[in-house]
């Protein structure tokens, strides 16, 4: 399974709405997560199972989608949200692990 994040870079301003996409090469149901990574840091889990916010993640982050098309939405960008975002698929049957190439959310 290949995950494609078509937006290499997305340039927006604080306060704007961000919509990041991730497309799977075949249906993965809702087995998708989103991670945020800031420079010099490890990634952080934001969303699991396509739409479940992880513990401590602000409500401005939301995920949606199923099958092959998924979206991470940040309703109103805060300065700390400018980072790289990765989608990830994981399955046990068969064992599958895949990351998207990442989308850099940059300040406009």
Partner 1 sequence: QVQLVESGGGLVKPGGSLRLSCAASGFALTDYSMCWVRQAPGRGLEFVSYISYGGRDIYYADSVKGRFIISRENAKTTVYLQMNTLRAEDTAVYFCARENDDSWIDLWGQGTLVTVSS
Cβ atoms 100, 72 nearer than 8 A: no
Size of the site for partner 1 (CB under 8 A): 22
Residues in the chain: 108
Pick from 81, 71, 87, 104: which is nearest to 16 by CA? 81
Interface positions, 39-68, toward partner 1 (CB under 8 A): 42-45, 48-49, 54
Out of 10, 33, 50, 72, name the contact with partner 1 by CB under 8 A. Answer: 33
Nearer to partner 1, 8 or 13 (CB): 8
Edge to edge, the sheet with strand 61-66 lists 3-4, 18-24, 69-74, 61-66
Where on the chain is the footprint of partner 1 (CB under 8 A)? 33, 35, 37, 42-45, 48-49, 54, 86, 88, 90-92, 95, 97-102
């Amino acid at each position: 399974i290949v995950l494609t994040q078509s937006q290499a870079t997305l340039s927006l301003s604080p306060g704007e709405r961000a919509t990041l996409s991730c497309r799977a090469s075949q249906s993965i149901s809702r087995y998708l997560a989103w991670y945020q990574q800031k420079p010099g840091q490890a990634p952080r889990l934001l969303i699991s199972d396509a739409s479940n916010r992880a513990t401590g993640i602000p409500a401005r982050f939301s995920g949606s989608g199923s099958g092959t098309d998924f979206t991470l939405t940040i309703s109103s960008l805060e300065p700390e949200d400018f980072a790289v975002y990765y989608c990830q698929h994981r399955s046990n049957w068969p064992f599958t692990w895949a990351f998207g190439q990442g989308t850099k959310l940059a300040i406009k």
